[in-house]
Amino acid sequence: MNEMQFLTWVRGTGLNIAVGIFLLGVIWRLIEIYSLGRKKDLSAPRNVPGASGWHTVFRRSMPPKDMGMVKKSPVSYIGGYVFHIGLAVVVFLFAPHIKFIESVVGLSWPGLPSQFVDLVAVITIAAMVVVLADRINKPVKRYLSTFEDWFTWTVTFLPVLTGWMAVQHLLLPYTTMLALHILSVEILLVVLPFTKLFHAFTVWGSRYYNGAVNGHKGVAV
C-alpha cells in the first residue's frame, strides 16, 4: 500500500468503520447507562430557586464558589479549560475540518483564520503536555491513574499533534501525515465510547442527576 492508497483507505473504508463503531457504541453505551433508571424520591421536596438538575448542568462548568479550588489545583482547572476549549476550536472551527464535515453530513459554518487555529493547536498541545506532567507529578492523580488514563491521553493527543504536523509539513510528507492524522482520529472515535472519554456524553447526565438529587433538598450544588 502506498501513501495515496493509505490515504484513500482511511478516508473511505477506515472512516466508515470508525464512525460506525462510534455511533453504535455511543447509542449502546447511553442505553446501557441510562436505562438503569432511578427510583422516585418520595420525600417532600424543598423548592429553592437555582437548585435543580438543569442549574447544575451549567453551574458545574465553573469552579465551585468560594472554595479556593483553582488555587488548590490550578493545573486541573486552567489546563483543563485550555485544552477542552482548544480541542473544540481546533476540531470544529478549522476551515478544512468544516469542509470535511460538510462533505459528509452537508452542514457547514464559518471557520476561524488558519493562523489563529494554528496558534490554538500549539496552545492545546502545550496544555495537554502540562496536564500529563501534572498527572505524573501529583500524588493523588498518579495514585488514581490506570493504563486507561495514559492510553486515553495518548489517543486524544495524537490527532492534535498529527494534525498540526500535517499543516506544518513536518517530519513526513503531507499525504502520509494527513493519512496518519485521519487514522488517529478514527482510533479516537473507536475508543471514545468505551473509555473514560465517554464523559463527553455522560458529564451532562451526571451533573443533572447530582443537581436534581440535591435540588430536591433545596440545595443548589
Partner 1 sequence: MSATLEKGVRVLKEVIDAPIASYFNSCVHCGLCAEACLFYTETGDPKYTPIHKLEPLRRVYEQEYTLLGRLKKLAGLSKPVTDAELGEWQELVYNSCTLCGRCSVVCPVGNDIVYMVRKLREGMSASGNAPDGIKGAVNRTVTIGSPMGVKLPAVKAQMKHVEEDYGIPIPLDAEGAEYMVMLSSMEIINFPEYLGAIAKIMQQAGKTWTLCSTAFEATNAGMQIGNSDLARVIVSRIVDGAEKLKVKTVISPECGHAYTALRWEGANLIGRPFTFQVKHIIEVLGEFQEQGLLKTEGFETDKLTFHDPCQLARRGGVIQPQRNLMKMVAKNFVEMPDPGFINWCCGGGGGASAIEEGEELRIEAFKKKKSQLDAVKPDRLVTACANCRIVLEEGLEHYQMDIPVVGLTEMIAEHIPEKGA
Site residues, partner 1 (CB under 8 A): 28-29, 32-39, 41-44, 46, 48, 51, 56-57, 60, 63-64, 66-67, 69, 72-73, 76, 80, 135, 138-146, 149, 194, 196, 198-199, 202-203, 205-211, 213-214, 216-219, 221
Q: What are the CB-based long-range contacts (under 8 Å, 24+) for 158-164? A: 158/184, 158/187, 158/188, 159/184, 159/185, 159/188, 160/87, 160/90, 160/121, 160/124, 160/125, 160/128, 161/125, 163/90, 163/121, 164/118, 164/121, 164/122, 164/125
Least Å from the CB of residue 63 to partner 1: 8
Least Å from the CB of residue 60 to partner 1: 5
Closer Cβ to partner 1, 77 or 100, answer by number: 77
Closer Cβ to partner 1, 37 or 106, answer by number: 37
Least Å from the CB of residue 62 to partner 1: 9
Q: How far apart are CA 179 and CA 85, in angstroms?
A: 25
Closer Cβ to partner 1, 7 or 51, answer by number: 51
Closer Cβ to partner 1, 81 or 174, answer by number: 81
Least Å from the CB of residue 126 to partner 1: 19
Least Å from the CB of residue 90 to partner 1: 20
Measured in Å, how far apart are the chain's first and last C-alpha atoms? 55
Closer Cβ to partner 1, 56 or 162, answer by number: 56
Least Å from the CB of residue 119 to partner 1: 26
Which sign, positive or negative, has the C-alpha torsion 199, 156, 15, 95?
Answer: positive
- Grid coordinates belonging to 66: 468560594
Closer Cβ to partner 1, 176 or 195, answer by number: 195
> What is the helix (H) or strand (E) element at residue 24, kind and residue range?
helix 13-34
Judge contact between 160 and 90, C-beta under 8 A. yes
DSSP 76: I
